[in-house]
Structures are given as C-alpha cells and as structure tokens.
C-alpha cells in the first residue's frame, strides 16, 4: 500500500472553466479570480479576500500593509519559532524583523505566556501560526495585541476549516493569510489568499500584489473587458493610474487558470474537509496506544482542527531515532515530512539574527523529533488502519 503525503482534486467544473479561459485568451487575473475571492471570503465569514501568488506572499503582503499605517522598515513582528520557513521569510521580505517566541510542545503553537516579554517599542504585529491546522490561543493573543495596540495577522496556511470558539480561522484577527498550495484542502495548485474585514486593508493588498500601483479596484474594468475606465487619468493629464506607484509592492497576482482550480475545490469543499477531518480524528483517537513513545495533538472541545496532516512527535522515552522511524515508514509505503524546524536556530538563513541553540528548546525539540503524515481525501479507513498498524509494528520492534 502507498500513502502519499498529499493530493489535489481537480473537478470537472475546474476543467470546464480552464477551457473557457483558454478559449477566451484571457488568462491573467480576471473574473474567475474575483469570483474565487468572493466565494472564499464568504466561506471564511469575512468581508474581503485578496488572492495572491502563494501562501508566503499572503503572509508578506499582509504584513506589508503595516507600512501604510506608520510602520517603518526594521520594525518587529512577533512569530512562533516553529513553523514552515515561509513564515519567517515573509516577515523579512516585507521589510520587518521577525521576533521569535518559543512554542508549546502540546499544541505546536506559539506559547502565549511568552509573547508579552517579546513586545518592544518597535513591535507592530503578532503573527500566530495555526500549525497543522490546530488553532492558536487567539483570545490571549488578541488581548495582548489590544493592550499594546498591535495588529494580529493569522498565518492560516494549514488551517483551512479550522474553527476556534465558533469562528473560522482567517476571521480571528485583523487579517488571515492562507496557502492554496497543491497539498492543501482548498488548492489553486500554487497560490495564496488574504482575508480581512477591513476594506481599507483589502485596498492596500490589491495595490501591493501589483507592484504598489494606485490602480486597486476590486474588479478591474480594463483587465477584464478592456473597456473605458473613468479613473484611469484621475491624477491628471498623462498620469495613467496603472503606472502610478503609491508604495513598494510585489508581483503576486493569481491567474485565471489557478482560480478555476480553486473554484472547483470550493464546490466540493465540504466533502474534502469532512473526509480529511474523519481521517485525522480517527488517527488522533487511536494514537493514545503509542504513548509514551509517540504523541500527537489533541482536539479541544471549543475547536475544530483544520485537517492538514497528522503530526507525530517522538518522546524522550523512545528507544529509536526519527531517522529510524522515517525510514521504516517510507519503506512501508508511507510518505512523511519533518515537522519543520526552529527557524532562528535550525535554519541557517536566520543565523545573522544572532540566536543560538537552546534559545527555543521546544521548537528545537520538535524540529529534531517531529514528523507529519498526510490525511488527505484520497485516503480512507483502510489506509488509516495501515498507518496505525505500521507504527505499531515499528514500536514492537523497538520496545
């Protein structure tokens, strides 16, 4: 049996829309992108959604909005030390300095008890990560942000379908940044999207994704229909709004073909989400037998976990290494991924910030001893049982 980490669902609707876009020869960002944005916003329960080129760009552009509200280059954004490296990269790409806080080993998320100690006069925002789709402690994070007049930007890359106390991930802060990469619940193959209830933030985001242009309407008449635009010369004679740049921007537009794949995914979203959640919860419920050698996350009564993958952390009492476990799983046909790294101390690119091994012990432990396994919609009970039985056999051999 083969258990690949991820999959993508490309529906008949997506194929039809791709065909229409190709036939019309209008492939850059247009009506399908706008339709996808509207439907995604409705799904999350927010007023606005702005589609961009990747989940990393979603993080970076959301943070870059801060420059329009008084932030200076080099100001600080607080993030967890454990995440996919894109979180830290995005902060730097937006012109800010990442300030890292260790995580809670049980939840994998930022340790809220340590956030306030990291706040300085240069802090402008907190970016919690809902790692593996498990919601961060947003009540505490929002309270700290309110106390210190900070924005909260959710890194919801893996949190499609996550719910915290009745509210969807992506609606819990000032902005939410999602990845739409091929292995995620909603995919556009590559792509990302930022959600917000603030129309002013959305307007800035539309400018940022297109080089910082002054042209930032929700739907561009010129781009979708090559029609007359009354705003084109609003800045005066010979001042084309499309070539006036109000801010430092990015090149990060979603195209029509990607949006077509996303629209098809939205059409079957409930089925994909329910299948993946069924798989994840079944694995979590049956994982207790592997304690104290292996643990995973737990579901709290007030939340729904966004079923991205099954995280597994090797504990101190285990008589084997991560490499041994990974090799056994891979040889058995089960695809695995490491559970990321402590960005400031285990990712060399951040070395110039001056952190040293031991500064973030929980993140570092998970970075050395964590893996995750797919729970995607192409798997079922048989595959889940195969995963559990394979792990059990491995543990029996390493008792």
Sheet (strand 167-168) strand order: 167-168, 163-164, 303-304
Please determine, for residue 397, whether its predicted confidence score (pLDDT) is greater than 70: yes
The CATH architecture annotation of domain 269-397 reads: Alpha-Beta Complex (3.90)
Cα–Cα dist 8/150, whole Å: 37
Domain residue limits, the chain? 12-266, 269-397
Residues 305-317 have a mean pLDDT of 98
Which segment of 59-73, 100-114, 237-251, 339-353 scores lowest on mean pLDDT? 237-251
Q: Give the model's pLDDT for residue 243.
A: 82
Mean pLDDT of the chain: 95
> Roughly what angle, to the nearest 10 degrees, separates helices 55-64 and 199-208?
120
What residues contact residue 36 under an 8 Å CB cut-off, 6+ apart? Answer: 51, 188, 254, 259, 262, 263, 266
Label the pairing between strands 337-338 and 370-374: antiparallel
- More confident position, 171 or 237: 171
* Phi, psi angles (nearest 5°) of residue 113: -70, -15
Cα–Cα dist 176/157, whole Å: 9
Cα–Cα dist 227/109, whole Å: 48
Q: Give the model's pLDDT for residue 227.
A: 66
Label the pairing between strands 82-83 and 151-155: unpaired
Please determine, for residue 133, whether its predicted confidence score (pLDDT) is greater than 90: yes
Residues 36-49 have a mean pLDDT of 98
Label the pairing between strands 82-83 and 341-342: antiparallel
Cα–Cα dist 315/371, whole Å: 12
Please determine, for residue 9, whether its predicted confidence score (pLDDT) is greater than 80: yes
Q: Give the model's pLDDT for residue 302.
A: 98
Percent of the chain with pLDDT over 90: 89
Cα–Cα dist 229/245, whole Å: 18
Q: Give the model's pLDDT for residue 214.
A: 82
- pTM, 2 dp: 0.95
Q: Given pLDDT bands bounded at 50, 70 and 90, which one contains residue 217? A: low
pLDDT per residue as tens digits for the range 14-32:
999 999 999 999 888 889 9
Q: Does domain 12-266 have CATH number 3.40.190.80?
A: no
> Roughly what angle, to the nearest 10 degrees, separates helices 381-397 and 322-331?
130
Residues 163-182 have a mean pLDDT of 98
Question: Among all chains, which residue has been given the structure tokens 């995750």?
Answer: 372
């Amino acid at each position: 049996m083969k258990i690949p980490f991820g999959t993508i669902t490309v529906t008949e609707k997506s194929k039809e829309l791709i065909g229409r876009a190709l036939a019309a020869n209008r492939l850059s960002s247009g009506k399908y992108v706008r339709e996808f944005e509207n439907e995604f916003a409705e799904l999350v329960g927010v007023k606005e959604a702005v589609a961009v080129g990747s989940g990393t760009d979603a993080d970076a552009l959301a943070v870059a909005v801060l420059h329009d509200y008084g932030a200076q280059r080099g100001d600080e954004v607080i993030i967890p030390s454990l995440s996919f490296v894109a979180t830290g990269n995005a902060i730097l790409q937006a012109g800010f300095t990442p300030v890292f806080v260790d995580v809670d080993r049980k939840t994998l998320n930022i340790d809220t008890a340590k956030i306030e100690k990291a706040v300085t006069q240069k802090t402008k925002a907190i970016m919690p990560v809902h790692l593996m789709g498990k919601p961060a402690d947003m009540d505490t994070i929002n309270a700290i942000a309110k106390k210190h007049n900070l924005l909260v930007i959710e890194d919801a890359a893996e949190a499609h379908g996550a719910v915290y106390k009745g509210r969807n991930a992506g609606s819990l802060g000032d902005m939410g940044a999602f990845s739409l990469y091929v292995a995620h619940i909603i995919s556009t193959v590559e792509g990302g999207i930022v959600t917000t209830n603030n129309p002013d933030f959305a307007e800035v985001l539309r400018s940022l994704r297109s080089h910082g242009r002054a042209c930032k309407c929700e739907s561009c008449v010129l781009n979708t229909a090559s029609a007359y635009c009354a705003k084109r010369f609003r800045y005066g004679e010979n001042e084309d709004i499309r070539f006036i740049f109000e801010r430092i921007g990015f090149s990060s537009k979603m195209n029509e073909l990607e949006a077509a794949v996303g629209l098809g995914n939205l059409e079957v979203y409930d089925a994909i989400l329910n299948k993946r959640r069924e798989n994840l919860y079944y694995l979590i419920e049956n994982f207790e037998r592997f304690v104290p050698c292996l643990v995973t996350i737990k579901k709290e009564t007030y939340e729904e976990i966004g079923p991205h993958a099954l995280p597994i952390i090797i504990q101190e009492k285990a008589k084997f290494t991560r490499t041994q476990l990974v090799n056994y799983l891979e040889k058995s046909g089960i695809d695995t991924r490491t559970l990321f790294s402590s960005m400031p101390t285990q990712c060399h690119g951040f070395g110039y910030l001056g952190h040293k091994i031991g500064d973030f012990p929980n993140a570092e432990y998970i970075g050395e001893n964590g893996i995750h396994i797919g729970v995607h919609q192409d798997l079922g009970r048989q595959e889940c049982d195969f995963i559990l039985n394979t792990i059990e056999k491995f543990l029996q051999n390493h008792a």
